[in-house]
Amino acid sequence: MLDTVRDKLNRPLRDLRISVTDRCNFRCTYCMPREVFGHDFQFLPHDDLLTFEEITRLARIFIGHGVEKIRITGGEPLVRRDVEKLIEMLVRLDGLKDITLTTNGSLLARKAQALKDAGLKRVTVSLDSLDDEVFRSMNDVDFPVAKVLEGIEAARAVGLEPVKINMVVKRGVNESSILDMARYFHGTGCILRFIEYMDVGMTNGWRLDDVVSAAEIVSMVDEELPLEPVDPNYRGEVARRYRYKDGGGEIGIISSVTNTFCGDCTRARLSPEGQLYTCLFGTMGHDFRSLLRNGKSDEELSSFLYKVWSRRSDRYSELRAIQTTHLPKVEMSHIGG
């Protein structure tokens, strides 16, 4: 029986983002800068990661409290061996309405068919520029943009649609690519989403001056490809939607810096080692792995989840200030976006 839980601000739990690995084959400068995540960085040992069976068990419990949508993230989720087997297990869960995955696209051409066969519905691909020099510089492993575009086309070919494209915009780095991206994906059926550069984690050197605001982005696109706003698809949708007036599809803007959306946040994030974070900017996780591995029952796990969410009052983006931006926050590469 569904036991919907609400937090102190009356926000339900609807979305679960599951990070299956803290590893990534990119070193994007705004997420996993090489000077921190170098060759000697100690990633989680495999035994510390939740098994697919443990993840599926937790997902079933979360669905019992109202979760309808699961997103598989990382790190880069496609570097987790046999991740499609986890998707097969999750899609069988009663009550789950949607399952999707966010990837940097580097392995997508190779994996798209297996992901579709496993029951994955859609994919979101991170792509910060079509300019190969800019893109290689941002991913910092000299990975070519053409390979990501190949992955996007493979996803579309097998029916993982609509493909969403996430572009993190950082001033002085890739804002010149905004219009190129809009032109390229206009009319393709892909949904391009621009993301304001966020102060996630402690390693990306975030400064407010580096943020290109949602208003600037919309204005830039609208000047060449006229836009009009669209209502949200559902309560708690992160992106503000706009459609092209010529019928060429839509874009989204994720603006956690200049236009916060904490008031409708329905998302929880499960880290690779089983820590639950109730905010993207979380400073403390809640340990589910210990409960799992110490033989706790489903009822005990459910009770712990209910307690954690019902006490939640997170609204970091609404309270962002000098005294909070420097609190020790979990890295985005650890719990996904």
Structure tokens at 312: 């939640």
Q: Is the pLDDT of residue 321 over 50?
A: no
Looking at this protein, which amino acid is placed at residue 93? L
Instruction: Read off the pLDDT of residues 221-270 as tens digits, 9 standing for 90 and up.
Output: 999 999 999 998 877 677 899 999 999 999 999 887 776 667 788 999 99
Q: Domain-by-domain residue ranges, the chain? A: 15-335
pLDDT on residue 283: 74
Integer Cα distance of 238 and 253 in angstroms: 8
List pLDDT tens digits, range 141-191. 999 999 999 999 999 999 999 999 999 999 988 999 999 999 999 999 999
Q: What average pLDDT does this structure show over 41-66?
A: 97
pLDDT band at 126 (very low <50, low <70, confident <90, very high): very high
Domain over 15-335 is classified CATH 3.30.360.10 = no
Per the model's pLDDT, the better-predicted residue between 73 and 1 turns out to be 73
Rounded mean pLDDT, 293-311:
97
Q: What average pLDDT score do residues 194-205 get?
A: 69
Contact 204, 176 (CB under 8 A): no
Strand order through the sheet with 227-230:
227-230, 240-244, 250-254, 191-196, 164-169, 122-126, 98-103, 69-73, 15-19, 267-270, 275-277, 286-287
What end-to-end distance do the CA atoms of the chain give, in Å?
Answer: 30
What pLDDT, on a 0 to 100 scale, did the predictor assign at position 53?
98
